């Protein structure tokens, strides 16, 4: 596969991953599918995890990957940026995508490790899994500690794990595009050649 076609494939693949990251991060603001907890969230009485507010999916896996995806996709089109200079620029955009994917990955991993903010049966809000000696991810019996928002542990685990997977794939694709861009810069995009 020539470097131009490879860039086009990578760019097209990054679009849904960036949109998925944005969507997952937005959904994390509504645990239990309710706006109530986002509205009640304050610094003194947190109802959302800090990792949700860091916006790793929107900023890192979303915007910082979507903008490079557009350039990388255009680099693969003949007559647009499909030249050595365009491939050289795609290396820089790919590095921005790598940084965004790493940010999203780090925030999602921290969100998974620390667990959600929830209320216990006694009505006490906090992060019961953050300082626990036992991993809540390996012991589902611990999930019953959280009574409100309903099913918040499953909600957070599902969305943060989706962010983890999406950011890992984005990281690999953007890293591969940096190498592909280097070859395209040195050898050309081969869009004019019959493959």
Report how many domains make up the chain: 1
Residue 192 lies in a domain: no
Beta bridge pairs of residue 118:
126
Residue 68 lies in a domain: yes
Residue 31 lies in a domain: yes
> Peptide bond before 149: cis, by omega within 30 degrees of 0?
yes
Residue 195 lies in a domain: no
Would you say residue 15 has pLDDT above 50?
yes
Would you say residue 22 has pLDDT above 60?
yes
Q: Which domain holds residue 94?
A: 3-187
Tens digits of per-residue pLDDT, 95-105? 999 999 999 99
Would you say residue 74 has pLDDT above 70?
yes
pTM for the whole structure: 0.87
Report CA-CA distances (Å) from 48 to 18, 146, 148: 23, 13, 12
Alpha-carbon distance 62 to 166, whole Å?
10
Query: From the centroid of its chain, how far is CA 94?
Result: 15
């Amino acid at each position: 596969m020539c470097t131009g076609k490879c860039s086009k494939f990578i760019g097209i693949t990054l679009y849904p991953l960036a949109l998925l990251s944005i969507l997952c991060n937005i959904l994390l603001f509504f645990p239990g599918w309710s706006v109530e907890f986002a509205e009640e969230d304050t610094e003194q009485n947190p109802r959302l995890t800090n990792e949700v507010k860091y916006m790793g999916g929107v900023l890192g896996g979303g915007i910082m990957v979507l903008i490079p995806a557009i350039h990388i996709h255009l680099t693969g089109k003949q007559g647009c940026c499909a030249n050595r200079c365009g491939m050289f620029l795609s290396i820089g955009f790919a590095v921005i995508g790598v940084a965004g994917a790493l940010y999203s990955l780090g925030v999602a991993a921290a969100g998974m490790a620390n667990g959600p903010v929830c209320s216990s049966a006694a009505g006490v809000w906090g992060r019961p899994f953050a300082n626990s000696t036992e991993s809540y991810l390996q012991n589902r019996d611990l999930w019953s500690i959280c009574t409100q928002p309903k099913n918040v542990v499953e909600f957070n685990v599902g969305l943060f794990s989706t962010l983890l997977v999406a950011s890992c794939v984005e990281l690999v694709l953007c890293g591969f595009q940096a190498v592909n861009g280097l070859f395209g810069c040195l050898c050309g995009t081969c869009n004019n050649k019959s493959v």
